């Protein structure tokens, strides 16, 4: 192995923090108001405070149907957990029991991934947010080997 390739490996290893070393402040780059170019959907994240980041998501379809979500990312002693529930406009939850729950898979300076730990197979198995300047991309993908198309949402900072 050359010195140049060894340095590249070291940089790659340092760039992605293991989940155990991550802190909620590592996700501060996610905070803000993010909107689709056509305005059909938007997501808002508050900055980390008190061990949580709180967010909301709204998708309004042309027929008036809406998808509403309440989002929480919480830092625990040894992990970062993402939880959310869907709601109708009358605040009736889609998930009658526990929220959809994910644990942190990996995080770096502008990308974070979570893997589902709850039993709801109707929601993505993995969720990834990637930021590039004033653009944010969300990808919700199925379990390995799934034939479902990933859900990809593109946002820009408002």
Q: Sketch the domain layout of the chain as residue ranges.
A: 22-157
> What are the b/e assignments for 91-100, b being 16+ CB within 10 Å?
eeeeeeeebb
User: What does the pLDDT read at residue 21?
Assistant: 73
User: What does the pLDDT read at residue 78?
Assistant: 85
Reported as a pLDDT band with limits 50, 70 and 90, residue 3 is very low
Reported as a pLDDT band with limits 50, 70 and 90, residue 6 is very low
User: What does the pLDDT read at residue 103?
Assistant: 97
User: What does the pLDDT read at residue 126?
Assistant: 98
Domain 22-157 CATH class label:
mainly beta
Ramachandran region of residue 28, left (φ > 0), alpha (ψ -120 to 50) or beta? alpha
pLDDT tens for 122-131 read 999 999 999 9
pLDDT tens for 91-116 read 999 999 999 999 999 999 999 999 99
Q: What is the DSSP letter of 15?
A: H
Q: How far apart are CA 55 and CA 34, in angstroms?
A: 11
Token representation of residue 140? 């919700």
Higher pLDDT, 122 or 7: 122
Q: For the purposes of burial, counting CB atoms within 10 Å of the CB of 68, is it exposed (0-12), middle (13-18) or buried (19 or more)?
A: middle
Q: What is the DSSP letter of 22?
A: -
């Amino acid at each position: 192995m050359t010195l140049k390739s060894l340095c590249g490996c070291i940089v790659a290893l340092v760039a992605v923090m293991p989940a155990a070393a991550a802190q909620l402040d590592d996700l501060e780059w996610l905070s803000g108001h993010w909107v689709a170019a056509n305005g059909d959907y938007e997501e808002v994240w508050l900055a980390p405070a008190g061990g949580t980041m709180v967010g909301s998501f709204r998708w309004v379809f042309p027929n008036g149907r809406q998808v509403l979500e309440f989002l929480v990312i919480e830092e625990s002693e040894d992990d970062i957990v993402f939880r959310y529930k869907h709601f109708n406009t009358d605040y009736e939850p889609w998930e009658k029991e526990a929220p959809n729950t994910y644990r942190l898979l990996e995080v770096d300076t502008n990308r974070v991934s979570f893997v589902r730990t709850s039993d709801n197979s109707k929601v993505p198995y993995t969720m990834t947010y990637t930021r590039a300047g004033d653009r944010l991309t969300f990808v919700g993908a199925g379990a390995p080997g799934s034939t479902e198309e990933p859900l990809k949402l593109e946002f820009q900072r408002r």
